Amino acid sequence: ERETSISRGLEALEAKAQSANMCAQRLLLIPAEAKNAGGVSHQIDVQKELLETESWRLLSVDPTAVIKPSLVQLKDQFLREWQQQQDAKIEAEDAAQKRDEEKQERTEELHRLKEIMQQQELEEKRLREEHARELEEINKQCKQYTERLNAGRATDGKSVVQSRGELASLQQKYDDFMNTSKAELRELDACLSSELDVLTDHKMRIEQQLQELGEHLRGKVATLRDYDCSA
């Protein structure tokens, strides 16, 4: 009966040792060359042959002296790595949120600049149409005065002089109008060019920021992937 009891006890001990070995293997503590073993053997073998002579050496490895410290160290290591990954994840999320906010601000600013450019284009179109109408009216008046001048040459010298004065005045108005129109168009073109430069600069900055964000997130993803593989 005593031998039966001892035999059952040994069987139970071997079952627990096997379970512990499987767990240690999953944690990369077995074999001694495994990643987390540190060159130390963590495999528990039940040495039945020492039961009668050196029962205190029944187990090939002392769980309290060898396995438990390794488990504590491994747990601390996992906690540190997990915390690092959490910090990296939070940092990546914060960076992504900041980039999204900056992107939204830039998008709104670009939208505002586009609206300004559209308004200026409409204003330029209006001015061109207005100038065209005024030019047409001036040309019409010039034609009328020319006709009057030609008619006056054959009838009344006073009318000729008067018409010439009116024509000279009209010519001066025409020249002033053309100079003013050219100056306004140059100013409008310069304004549009400046707004376009600002728009292009904002576009390039947004593209640069998106590229930097992509590289940052790819680095974090690679770090998380390495951690998952090691775990």
**DSSP collapsed to 3 states, the chain:** CHHHHHHHHHHHHHHHHHHHHHHHHHCCCCCCCCCCCCCCCCCCCECHHHCCCCHHHCECCCHHHHHHHHHHHHHHHHHHHHHHHHHHHHHHHHHHHHHHHHHHHHHHHHHHHHHHHHHHHHHHHHHHHHHHHHHHHHHHHHHHHHHHHHHHHCCCHHHHHHHHHHHHHHHHHHHHHHHHHHHHHHHHHHHHHHHHHHHHHHHHHHHHHHHHHHHHHHHHHHHHHHHHHHC
Q: According to the model, what pLDDT value does residue 37 have?
A: 86
Q: Which fold has domain 83-230?
A: Helix Hairpins (1.10.287)
- Residues 172-223 have pLDDT tens digits of 776 776 677 667 667 766 766 776 676 677 667 766 766 776 676 666 656 6
pLDDT attached to residue 220? 63
Q: What is the residue extent of each domain of the chain?
A: 2-61, 83-230
